[in-house]
Amino acid sequence: MSEAIQFLASFPGIMSAIKVTGHGDGMRIQLDIPETEMGEAIGLLLLRECVLKVTIEKEPSNGNVFGTVKRSTAKNRNG
């Protein structure tokens, strides 16, 4: 795969979105990807065993790109 995968994403509103390890060996990030961007982001599945070169650019916007993320509970999803 030689083409770049591009999609919009944001950090979730949780404290563990950016984690720095206590062993001095790096950090881990989590991203929220909206449904509208999943078509592009699905290509990440093919890259699970690869080393990635990551470039982050701030998307010009007037605040939160995706609005408040509403998470449903299992009870709400099933009934």
- pLDDT reported for residue 61: 73
Q: Which are the contacts of 68, defined by CB distance < 8 A and separation ≥ 6?
A: 13
Q: Is residue 7 part of a domain?
A: yes
Residue 66 carries which DSSP code? Answer: S
**Residue, of 62 and 53, whose pLDDT is higher:** 53
Residue 3 carries which DSSP code? Answer: S
Joined tokens for residue 42: 């699905």
Expressed in percent and rounded to 5, the helix, strand and coil fractions of the chain are 25, 10, 65
Q: Is residue 69 part of a domain?
A: no
- pLDDT reported for residue 43: 94
pTM of the model: 0.68
Task: Domain count for the chain, please give it.
Answer: 1
d(CA 29, CA 40) in angstroms, rounded, equals 19
- pLDDT reported for residue 74: 54
- What average pLDDT score do residues 34-55 get? 94
Q: Which domain holds residue 21?
A: 1-63
